[in-house]
Structure 1
């Protein structure tokens, strides 16, 4: 499991860094032009903190995989991470409309890849957390 956690750490750091491109990729300047300043800034700030949390989780996995597996506190932290990613997996199905991806090749591939990724993260962290 230590190798799995280190691999997860690598992927989470990459995922966190990808958040830096969200504003440009999703054309937020145009999309949010009509919303209030507070709503626009909340989107940027929340995206930053999601990316920051994902980055810290990745760094934790890279730097402390053995402690996550081998200590009671580490297993509790891993279980919390597993619950976090399980919630993210459920949001993929219940928080986003299938209209966003259904019938669109690229979006469907991304949807399926992230369902697999969130499932993998959930399973590894929960298995580590349950010892």
Structure 2
């Protein structure tokens, strides 16, 4: 569970850096207000979800791996990462090393959350 928690914490930090990494202060101004707001709100909610999942993995590893509710959470997160991997190929068809690295990290997330289900 530690690695799954670190993975989630890493994505929380990565999403927290989006404003700077992607120049959102300037780039989002090009969008209509509703799209600009929705983009930032969704990103903030993802930070919250990733940070929460990380905290659960760190604080309740036995409960997550050993209870029906915890195993449901593992399956949910594994499917989240499988879906994110598929969406990468649908929406971001870019041949760039960083895109490939992110895709690998999405696959890693699916594996980290799925592996305890088979152990």
User: What TM-score, normalized to structure 1?
Assistant: 0.79
Does structure 2 retain, via aligned residues, the 8 Å contact 1:85–1:118? yes
Matches for 1:101-120 after TM superposition, within 5 Å: 102=95, 107-108=96-97, 110-120=98-108
Instruction: Tell me, in whole angstroms, the C-alpha distance in 1 between the residues paired with 2:102 and 2:30.
Output: 30
The number of residues matched between the two structures is 119
1:82 positional shift: 0.7
User: Given the alignment, which residue of 31, 34, 39 partners 2:35?
Assistant: 39
1:130 positional shift: 4.9
Structure 1 alignment gaps of length 5 or more: none
Structure 2 alignment gaps of length 5 or more: none
RMSD, aligned α-carbons? 1.7
Regions of 4+ moved over 4 Å: none
Task: Using the TM superposition, name which of 83-92 and 8-17 deviates more.
Answer: 8-17
1:60 aligns with 2:56: yes
User: Given the alignment, which residue of 5, 23, 27 partners 1:27?
Assistant: 23
User: What TM-score, normalized to structure 2?
Assistant: 0.86
